[in-house]
Structure 1
Amino acid sequence: MFCQLDQVKQILDTAAAVKNVLGEEQTGEGVFARKACSMLYGLLLMKDYDVFIQGGTIHLQDQEYPHQWIEMYLDGVPFILDICLGTVAGLIKDNQEDIYFLPEEDAVMEYGYQVHQEYPWLKGDCQPETWQRVIERLKLPTTVEQLLEEIEENSI
């Protein structure tokens, strides 16, 4: 029986794998966010989650910053999944987690998430080698080509 706790574990394991693989690459803040959102979107979409790449702003320490994140739904409730929040100008305290998975309402209250645009998934956001490393880390029974084709077919 697959319950909501199993779903949360699956989501966090996926986020951790993407964060670790991308952390091994040398990428700028904006590039990291776009790659992270693209990979999370694709991987979670293939697990039948309602997921969207969002772009907008966050509000931290009385400042507004451009940002990208994943919005997803569990049992009809919107959640924010963000593995890039800690990269925003080093504003997040060192003792906070690197993966943020919060109900949207809480994320808006705490970090001021404000959506300006939904972004499409683009196959070229990440190199095949990066996808391969994530596939290996998650032990997925697929090839890069099969995964990307399936994501492309199921993208909104």
Structure 2
Amino acid sequence: MELYTIAITRLNTGFQNIGKIIQKNADELQNNNPEAIKILIEEIENTTPSFKNSAKDFNRMYLDIVDSLNQKEVNYNEYEPFFKYINQIFPQYQESLVKSIGNLKNIGIDNSELDQAIADLDNAIMEIVNTFTNLLKIAIDYVDSTKDI
């Protein structure tokens, strides 16, 4: 669960940074201020690694869980609280991730560097969303299968 804590901390930091980026630059961006656009690009590029690292951590955690659940001996008590927990919070995170990147995509500025920075961030975010989807599938299957135990 240490990996989960690290990944979720990175993810939350990334969320905070995206919110700050949009708020801080909103007025200047509406005026297509080139300096504000440059700063926005830099801030997105500085935030993207947090999401990429979080995506890697969540994917590694997913693979570890799959491996563990495929073992002959599985400690059901170890996974049940975690799976119930992610069933509650991951859908909210997925929605927030998609909304955040959507807000950036719809910023309405025609700039190829900005488009590339947003696309890179979008890739990292969608990797997290996909991993969350996979983890949720496992969690749902796991909780359903343990009802009979």
TM category, shorter: under 0.3
More helix as a share of residues: 2
Q: Higher relative contact order by CA 8 Å / sep ≥ 6: 1 or 2?
A: 2
Which of the pair is proportionally richer in strand?
1
In terms of Rg, which structure is larger? 2
TM-score of the pair, normalised by structure 1: 0.26
